[in-house]
Every structure is written in C-alpha cells, then in structure tokens.
Chain A
Amino acid sequence: MQFLKSIVKCCQLILIVPLIFLLGFLVSNVHSESSRLLTVVPDYKLTFPHDYGAHQDFRIEWWYATGWLKTEDKEPLGFQITFFRYATDHDTANPSLFAPKYLIIAHLALSDPAVGKLLHEEKTAREGFGLAYAKEGNTDVKLDDWTLVKEENGRYLVDMQGDDIGLQLSLTPTQPVLLQGGDGFSRKGPKPEQASYYYSEPHLAVTGTVFRQNKPQTVTGSAWLDHEWSTAYLNEDADGWDWVGANLDDGSALMAFQIRHKDGSKLWSYAALRNAAGELTLFEPEQVDFTPERTWQSPYTDAVYPVAMRIRTGEIEWLLTPLFDDQELDANQSTGTVYWEGAVTLTRDEQPAGRGYLELTGYVSALDM
C-alpha cells in the first residue's frame, strides 16, 4: 500500500516538476515525437503581443515569475509562480472535449525566512471546458481559479489561491522585454536543436497581497518573468541545471545558467547582462563558470545543494547568498523529485548588487525514477 501510495503521489508529482525536469523528463517519456509539433529554429523573429501568448505547436512552454517582496513590516519574502503548458501525444482526431491534448500545470511557492522553509502548492489539469487553458495572442493562462493574465497596458495580473498560501499581485514592466540570446533563440546544449525561444521581463514592479492561512498582507517588490517554449529536449547526458535571474540595484538585469553533465562537468552555459541603459552583453559558454561557494545538505533528502554560488561572467565575479538555506522544494521525500528554488542576494565583485532567484536541479540522485 505504501508503495502504491508513493507511485500515485509520484504520478502527481511528475506533473508539477518545473522547468528542466519537464523539459527533459516529460519529453523523454512520450512514445514518439509527434509530427504536429514544431522544432525551435534560429532566425525566428519574436513579435509582440503575439509571442506573449501560447505556442500550441511546441511541446512545452512556461511562464515563470520570481521576485522579492516586502511586507508592510519591511520583512522580506520571496515568491515563485509558474504556469506550464504541455502538449501530449494524444490523438488530435479525438473530438472529445476531455481529450487531453494539452496539460496546464501550475506551481506556487513562498519563501519566508520567518518560516525557515519553502511553502508551496501545485495543480494540474487538462486544457478544456474553459477551466484550464493557455491562450494564444497574449499571456492569458488559467488553471481553475489560478490565473496569469497580461493586460493591454503590459501589466501582468497574478491570482492564485491555494489551500494555505495565496497571491494576488500585479507585475508592471519598467523596462523593455529582454530577448535571450539577443533575438530570443536560446541554446541549451551543443546540438543546434537543443534550444528554446526565450524572453525575460526583468524589473517588474510588484504590488499586491500575499495570503497565508487566509490572512492577507499587503506587499510591494520587484519581480522577474521568463517565458520560454520549446519542443526539443535536453542533451541525454545532462544531469540538471543551475540557473539565476536577478534584478540588480543599478537597474541592470542578469540571467545565467549552466547545464551540468552527468560527470559533473559543464555541458553548456550562458549568461546575459543588460544594463539600465538597455545595452545587452552576451557571454559565450566558455565565459561563464559556476563554482559552489557553500553547500547545504537537506535534512529531508540528504541532497547537497550549492546554495551559495560563485558565478563568473567574463571578467565579473558574482556571489549568490540565499535568503535562507532551506528553500528545497520538498514535494515528496519518497519520490526524490526534489529541487532547490530560492531567493538569493547578489554581490558583484564583493559589492552588494541586487536580488534574484537561484534554481538548482538534479541534485537528488533518485531523480531518474
């Protein structure tokens, strides 16, 4: 029974594992690459607002927002929300309104140093009946009563009420869209098809309300939004990835990631730094290095995460320090589908520089279930 329970939970979990796991894991699970799906190619020109919306012809797509909030008592608080759209290989000829052609998966997490660990909730549903969808044309994603909508004026509205935590935020852009890779084509590995379309919206001004046990708290802050879609999957040698997105105090925005080889070496890496004036600097894989500064061992999974990370982008040396150590997304200890997703502060060449979110995946060995 216990075994079974864990399998059921596991099924549930598979659908909520964010970013890299979905990209790699789910895609590797489908029987055959469906011909209806498109692959990511260079030289595609992103157009807005069209590309704010969903791209049904690609396997997977997500809208991901993280940020630092401040309560009225000046207490810091981190949040992360993600909406995934995932195209299944279900026969498109099925006229049933229940046909699970697309899945919508959403994820909500709060990092409160006063609590000392991550609070999180997740949901999954098949698209249909107007209950769950990711619309084309502009950002408009819904999963039951969880919604993420981009208004005409560019502002994002987030409304997500879970059992214990909830968010009602408005995210207002203060800077133009940042096209990763320069034109929105973001390579994820040595092979050209290992890529995604990817843009970010850094320095979103946040106002709104955070709910905990149904108690509202007014918050303000600054957020970062990523929108990424792709069909091809990660290199089969990939083990996991380390990613950071940060709003810097001087108005700059930094995004960097490295994809780790199973042997621990660097398979691929990338970084982009845009200053307040809008000048974008892109770094080649050999210019970007991630070096663990301090590790934290999870008491739940025994996984060891480099929660404090030193990142070199060209000549610049960044040091990432977590808001608190235990930001492991401990969805279920028995399955091992656990990763670290946390609020961090950054220094640039030893000087305080800004705040962001660090994501560390693939550190729990039991991952390949």
Chain B
Amino acid sequence: MSSRLLFRWLLVGEWRAHLLQALVAIIAIALGIALGFSIHLINSAAYNEFSTATKHLSGQSDLQVRGTQAMFDEILYPTLVQHKSIALANPVLEFDVVVADKFADSRDNKLTILGTDMFRAINISPDAIGISTDGDRLDGLSDDAIFLSPAAMEWLQVKQGDLLQLRSGVQTVTLRVAGGLLRARVGQRVAVMDIGAAQWRFDHLGLLSRIELKLAEGINRDAFKISLAQELGEHYRVIESADQEARINNMSRAYRVNLNMLAMVALFTGAFLVFSTQVLSMIRRRRQFALLRVLGLTRAQLLRQVLLEGTVLGTIGSLLGLALGYATAATALHFFGGDLGSGFFSGVRPDIHFSWLAAATFFILGLGVTLLGSAAPAWEAANAKTAPALKSGSEDIALVKLATPWPAIACLVVAGLFTLFPPVFELPIFGYLAIVLLMVGIIALMPRFSALFFSAFLAISTKKSSAAVPMLALSRLANAPNQASLALGGILASFSLMVAMAIMVTSFRVSVDDWLGQVLPADMYVKLASSGDKGGFQPEQQQAMEAIPGISRLDFSRALQLTLDPSRPDITLIARPVDNDSPEKIIPIIGEAMASASFPAGSMPIWVSEAMVDLYGYHIGNQVNLPLGKAGEVAQDFVVAGIWRDYGRQFGAIQMQLSDYQQLTGDENVNAAGLWLQTDTASEQVMTTLRALPFNDALEISHSSEIRATSLKIFDRSFAVTYLLEMVAVVIGLLGVAASFSSQTLARAKEFSMLTHIGMVRRQIFGMLAAEGGLLAVLGVFLGFVLGWTISLILVFIVNPQSFHWTMQLHLPWGWLILVALVMVISAALTALLAGRRALSGNTIRTVRED
C-alpha cells in the first residue's frame, strides 16, 4: 500500500467522522487570516492612496520649502526663483474653507483649495491646473473662478458655471465653478484657483503655504537640501518627498500596526483551536496509530501523517481566509472608504489592490500557526509507547507530556521581562510579544490549574455531600485535567481577549470623558468654522464679543500648526490665558507643574502634552526654542513648565500664554473663545446675542456638554472596529467550546455506555455533562478574567503610551464582563449537553462490547 493512499485514507476517514471539528479549525484559521488580510489590504490601500493623492498634487518637485507655521511670507518666492541652483519654483497657497451649503455638517464641510500660478505649476505639477471645458483657457486667471476635482463636484452637487459660496474666517466668498481638475485622484476632493485671486479673496495676501522646487541640472539634491535649509534659517523647512511620506507614515502608523496586532490576536486564537482539535484527534486515534506502528509504520511516517493533516487544514483555512479577507476588504472599501473610522485617510477613495507579497505572508502565517498547533500532538503521537497506547483509557497519559510546566513558566517570566522594554521604532513590539507569551504560558499551565482547582473542589465537596452526579463530574474533571484543559483553553483564550479589550476601551473612554471635563471648563465655546492659520476674530470682533451681556468671563485662544520636524506631522500650538501659578485650572496637568517663581529669567512658560515628551524629548524645566516670532529676530527662550494629558492630538501640542504669543508674533487674531456665563444668565440668551453679531454666519457655537457628547461619539466610532474584533473573538471562542466539548464527549462514548450499563439514567448523564461544562466554563472564565486583566494592564500602561503617547487610568466595565461571563458559562454548559445527547444516541451494547 502506498503511503499516499494511506495518508488519504487516514485523513478522509478522520474528517468524515469528525467533520465538524475539522470545519471549526478551518473556520478559525480562515477568520483569523481573513481579518488580518482585510485590515492589511484596507489600510495599505488607504495609506497608499492618501500618500499618492498628497504627492500627486505636488507633482514632480525635487524639494519643497515650507514654513514652520502653515504659511509664510511670499517674499521668499522671488529669492528662490532667482537662486542659481533652482531651475523652477512653484508657489502654492493651500488652505481649507467651509462650504456654506455644508455648514451644518461640521465633520465634513471643508474643501481644500490650492492657489497656484498655472504658468509655474505647468512645469512641476500640471495636474493642479484647472481646465475649463468651454475653451476659455485664461479663465484660470479670473479672480472669481474655481476649479473642482470630479469628487468635489459630486460632493457639492455643482457643475461648471454654478456658483459656490465658501466661508473663510468671518467672510463669505462667492466663486464661479469654472471647470474641472480632471486628473485629480478618484475620490480626491480638492479645488484649484489662481494664487493671486486666492490670496485676495480669502484674505491671505502676502502668504504662501509652500514652494515646490525643481533643481537645476547637476545639483545634488541631498547636499543642496542641507545648504538651502541653512540659508533659509530655522523658520523654514526644506522637505523632499521622502519626508512627506515619512510624515504620512508617522501620522497613521501606530493606528495601522495596532489594528494588525488585533487581527493577529484573532489568528492566535485560531491557532489554539487547531491545537486543541489536533490534540483531541490524536487522543481519539491513539489506538489506531499504535496499531499502525505495530503494523510497520515508522515514527517519521506517523509524524509526517499528522503534520500533513495539519498542513491540509492550514492550507484550506488560509486560502479561505485570503479569499474572505479580500472580499471583506473590497466590500468595506467600496461602501465605507478606507478610513475605518480613524479619520486619518479622509478625502480619498482608495481602490483595492491585491498584493501577492501580503497574500503570501498571510498564507505562510496561517499555515505556520496551524503547523505549530499540530507539532506537539504529532510529536506525542509519533513517540507514544505502542503497547500502553493500544490499551483503552490511556488518553490522559498522552497529555502528560504537554503539561510539563517549565516552558510555560519560562514564557511567563520572559513576558514579565518584556513589559519593561522600551518601544521599537516607536511601536510597542515588546508589549505585544509579552501579551502573546502570557497567553501561551497560561494556556500551557491550564492542566495544572484545572487539576489543582477541581481536586481541591472535590476534596471540599466530598466532605459535605455525596450526590452522585456532581461527584462524577468533579472527579472526572479533577482526574483527567489534561482533557478538561483543552476545552478550558478555548474559553480562556477568547474570554481573556474580550476582557482585555473591554477593559482597555473602557479605561480609555472613561479617561477621555474625564479629560473632556477638564479641558472644557467654560460653559460655551465659540469658534470660526474655518479660519486656517491666518484670519480669525480680529480685535474689533473680539471687542464685540466681550461686550455681550451676561458673561462673567471670556477667554480667547489662538491655535495654529507648527512644524518642528518635517518628517513628523505638525504639532499644535495653543495660546490662551493661563494662570502661571495654577495652570491645572484649565490644562489637564499630570503630576506637578513648575511654580512660576522658578521660571528662568527671560523664558516664557509653555505646557506640553505627553507626546512632546515622547517624540521631542521635552521635560519639565527644559529650555527650548520654538520657531515663533519674526524671522531674523533673536530667538525667544521657552521653559517647559508642565506636562499635560492630551487625547486630542497624538502628534504633540504645546500651550502658552496668549499674551506671550501676541507679544512675540504681533498676531492679534484669535480662533476661538470660551464663555463663562453669569449664574443668572440663560445660555439661550447669550446664544441669541451671539447670533445677532454681524459675523454670526461663520460662527460655530457649542455648549461644552455638546462638545463632550460629540467627542465621545467620535471616540465610539473610532473604536467601532475593535468592537467588531471582539465579536469575532467571541465567535471563535464559542466555536472552540463547541468543538472541544463535542469531541471530548464523543471520545467518552465508552464511559457513558458503561455508566448507563451500571444503571445511570440518561437524565443523570446529561446533568453530569452540563455540570462538567458549567464548572469548566466557570474556571475558564475566572482564569480568563485574570489573564485578560493582566493583558489589559499591558494594553493600558504599555501599548497605548508607546503607540499614541498618552496615558490613561484603569477602569473595569464590571456589568459587561459579568454578562459575557454568564453567556460563556451558559453556552459551555449547553454545548456540553448537546454534545452529550449525540454521544448517548449510539448503541450502548456495541460500545461496551467494543471496550
């Protein structure tokens, strides 16, 4: 008989008999792979499209010059055009405006406008030139003309010739849709107009956002980049497209990696399921294998047989997973875009691209974990002593080897050590490894826990009662701990993951809620729908607001973007009145802030968010420079006077005194105001007064309670995908419970026949099974809770600070945890019962005879 034929017989025979288990294992692998692959596809499509779309409009420039703030003086432009090393310089003014018709939708009402000089752009970024379809080429210069990308036209429901009302700061500008931007990326919402018109109509006179450069022939880009940066000084940044990519990459990397990690967790759960399926199958076929060995099958052949079975499972599961993942990703991208609720990749519509490399990686991953799950059982099966294995009831012995505690304990120790390690490439790699090792270690120690727990339980309950059914269940669990632990492992793995995720998300949510309370001390907030970095409330408008009756206090604030490092996303600078002696009144300071008496002479205090500590190495007492003030003036010293928690801006934020800011920059405008009402004033009254202001059209007025509610809504939306992952973990966990219970009860058919034979009624056997299932689930849920809680500590205190640079307090969602625990226990008991019914439907006489 050929070995191939034998392989087929054994495999087909096993699967035919236990189709459900094979299916469950395949589904588990497939789900894990599908999740991972689809998240990868969605994220990479979104990332690539976002990156391409960003690069698309900056054309084929060699370098870009930007200011450290969003805009800079156009005076630099002629200097660069005439620079002998620069062949072409393309000035660009980029800003967002609010579309009047979309004003109500504050999350999605902004349109990005690129102001360009078509005669300069044509040689560097020809795609950023508006095209009129009626042949009027010079219309691109008209000061009332705007050109929209197809996606923007579709979004705004306009066509060539229509008028479009746009708001910038307190003014409304009406422009004529003069044509299209046919080569904009699909889904990219962007508008182009003449740079001179844009500067004038939107009150950006004298300002540019960037200058794109093409270098003269023979100029070394890298060397010139450095020399130009030196020439221009600290108020400008010279950027190449690699920096821009790094910037986009930095912006979303933590988010993307963490999502992928969650998918890996699902895959890991799947691998565990394969492991338990294979172990159970080995146990069931112990005598079959022993017989084959006696008949002349070598150990190597047997090992190969088991591994091949695993390979088939893994291959089918992985392929299914890839197909499912691709379909899911395509559907999600089609219906929801690539954003996944994160907000990182809005404004683009990515297409799915099948990547062979990624597919191969995930396939190997799927197959790898399956083989890993099969390896230990295969080894045991191949090395089993033939003679004892032929006997009945030796199944539990088979698992003894798996229960050697040392590797498991080693895993736990290493996991503990890993939690002490710093991030790698700003990612919490060791944190994740610690989680994996922790799970492996605890699951491997399961048999010990289960033996200890049930033996102790048995000892206690024997003294108190002697009811037959609970005793039978308990002694079974206490004396065959290895088999019990397999079912337990499934419950443990999925429940612990759910617990960990739930604790993490709850901790985060509660912390965000607290934080919102701290950062929104005023009763009402007024801001401009769009002010960009320029514009805002001018002094006379500020006075008009201060004059409103019924207000006890009015705090203006100025927010703008600063580029400290061109390869990182911009940080936010917020200038507002701060009490130097007790900044914690309006800033959520962590720990102690520096006392104003100890500020170094001549330094202005700044309070920085936690991300500034992680990303830029700021510490309390540090003296730093910021690119504020006018170019050429002596740089002002700042001292870091405190560190605060910021969930709003993971790339870093700095707060400073508004008076310091105004003194330094001469910029008198502000973007927002916080209003404290007098105790006897109704907010409606103030609202009415605000609405009567001449510039009320552009105002966004909100109560702090509304902002809080909206923020939490956004939070929940961002975590929508993790809720989905939790659901998947629940499904995989329950599948595991079903598979391991049904296979165990089937394997115990002989035991049940014997029990029936000696007089137990079926009801009692069902009771025993339900008790076993319930008890196991109780232990699994308990251990799962402990493990999940430990993992959540790693997530809350290591993974989050290292990925997103913010800390949070631990909060446990008891209600939800108890609910899921009950569902787990009940479903485990029910599954055990159902599986038992099937096992007992067989022929008692035949089974006993077989024994």
Interchain nearest-CB distance for B90 vs A (Å): 12
Instruction: Assess whether A96 is in contact with B196, with CB atoms less than 8 Å apart.
Output: yes
- Which residue from chain B places its CB closest to the CB of A101 in the assembled complex? B196
Instruction: Assess whether B138 is in contact with A4, with CB atoms less than 8 Å apart.
Output: no
B367 at the interface (CB under 8 A from A): no
Question: Interface 1/0s, chain A 80-118, versus B by CB < 8 A?
Answer: 000000001111001111111001000000000000000
Docked CA distance A96–B200 (Å):
6
A174 at the interface (CB under 8 A from B): no
In the bound complex, residues from chain B placing their C-beta under 8 Å from that of A26 are 138
A7 at the interface (CB under 8 A from B): yes
Interchain nearest-CB distance for B406 vs A (Å): 65
- Which residue from chain A places its CB closest to the CB of B127 in the assembled complex? A8
Instruction: Assess whether B131 is in contact with A99, with CB atoms less than 8 Å apart.
Output: no
A367 at the interface (CB under 8 A from B): no
Pick the interface stretch among A9-17, A270-278, A343-351: A9-17
- A98: contacting residue among B122, B137, B196, CB under 8 A: B196
In the bound complex, residues from chain A placing their C-beta under 8 Å from that of B122 are 8, 11-12
Interchain nearest-CB distance for A241 vs B (Å): 22
Interchain nearest-CB distance for B181 vs A (Å): 10
Instruction: Assess whether B199 is in contact with A96, with CB atoms less than 8 Å apart.
Output: yes
Pick the interface stretch among B76-84, B153-161, B229-237: B76-84
In the bound complex, residues from chain A placing their C-beta under 8 Å from that of B321 are none
A120 at the interface (CB under 8 A from B): no
Instruction: Assess whether A29 is in contact with B138, with CB atoms less than 8 Å apart.
Output: yes
Instruction: Assess whether B78 is in contact with A99, with CB atoms less than 8 Å apart.
Output: no
Docked CA distance A126–B538 (Å):
32
Q: Is the interface of A mostly helix, strand, loop or mixed?
A: loop
A316 at the interface (CB under 8 A from B): no
B205 at the interface (CB under 8 A from A): yes
Interchain nearest-CB distance for B695 vs A (Å): 22
- A7: contacting residue among B74, B131, B143, B194, CB under 8 A: B131
In the bound complex, residues from chain B placing their C-beta under 8 Å from that of A15 are 119, 137
- B81: contacting residue among A91, A96, A144, CB under 8 A: A144
Instruction: Assess whether B143 is in contact with A98, with CB atoms less than 8 Å apart.
Output: no
Q: In residues 460-496 of chain B, which contact A (Cβ within 8 Å)?
A: none
Instruction: Assess whether B91 is in contact with A14, with CB atoms less than 8 Å apart.
Output: no
Instruction: Assess whether A98 is in contact with B195, with CB atoms less than 8 Å apart.
Output: yes
- Which residue from chain A places its CB closest to the CB of B141 in the assembled complex? A100
Instruction: Assess whether B131 is in contact with A91, with CB atoms less than 8 Å apart.
Output: no
B629 at the interface (CB under 8 A from A): no
In the bound complex, residues from chain A placing their C-beta under 8 Å from that of B183 are 1, 4
Instruction: Assess whether A11 is in contact with B131, with CB atoms less than 8 Å apart.
Output: yes
Instruction: Assess whether A11 is in contact with B196, with CB atoms less than 8 Å apart.
Output: no
Known: A11-B118, A94-B197. A129 touches B138 (CB 8 A): no
Instruction: Assess whether A129 is in contact with B81, with CB atoms less than 8 Å apart.
Output: yes
The residue in B91, B117, B136, B200 that gathers the most chain A C-beta atoms within 10 A of its C-beta is: B200
Known: A4-B182, A7-B131, A8-B129. A126 touches B196 (CB 8 A): yes
- Which residue from chain B places its CB closest to the CB of A98 in the assembled complex? B196
In the bound complex, residues from chain B placing their C-beta under 8 Å from that of A1 are 183
- A90: contacting residue among B82, B136, B141, CB under 8 A: B141
Instruction: Assess whether B117 is in contact with A126, with CB atoms less than 8 Å apart.
Output: yes
- Which residue from chain A places its CB closest to the CB of B135 in the assembled complex? A369
Instruction: Assess whether B205 is in contact with A96, with CB atoms less than 8 Å apart.
Output: yes
In the bound complex, residues from chain A placing their C-beta under 8 Å from that of B82 are 131
Question: Interface 1/0s, chain A 321-352, versus B by CB < 8 A?
Answer: 00000000000000000000000000000000
Instruction: Assess whether A30 is in contact with B138, with CB atoms less than 8 Å apart.
Output: yes
Docked CA distance A119–B329 (Å):
53
Known: A8-B122, A98-B117, A100-B196. A90 touches B142 (CB 8 A): yes
Q: In residues 50-103 of chain A, which contact B (Cβ within 8 Å)?
A: 88-91, 94-100, 103
Taking A7-B182, A30-B138, A96-B205 as given, write out 16 further A-B residue pairs in contact, using a Cβ cutoff of 8 Å, ordered by the A residue number: A1-B183, A4-B183, A8-B131, A11-B131, A11-B137, A29-B136, A88-B141, A90-B142, A94-B197, A96-B195, A96-B199, A96-B206, A98-B194, A98-B196, A129-B77, A130-B78
Taking Cβ atoms with an 8 Å cutoff, the residues of B that contact A are: 74, 77-78, 81-82, 91, 117-120, 122, 126, 129, 131, 135-138, 140-143, 182-183, 194-197, 199-200, 205-206
Some 22 contacts from A to B, beta carbons below 8 A apart, are A11-B118, A11-B122, A11-B131, A11-B140, A14-B137, A14-B138, A15-B137, A88-B138, A88-B141, A90-B142, A94-B143, A94-B197, A95-B205, A96-B196, A96-B197, A96-B206, A98-B196, A99-B143, A100-B196, A125-B120, A126-B119, A131-B81
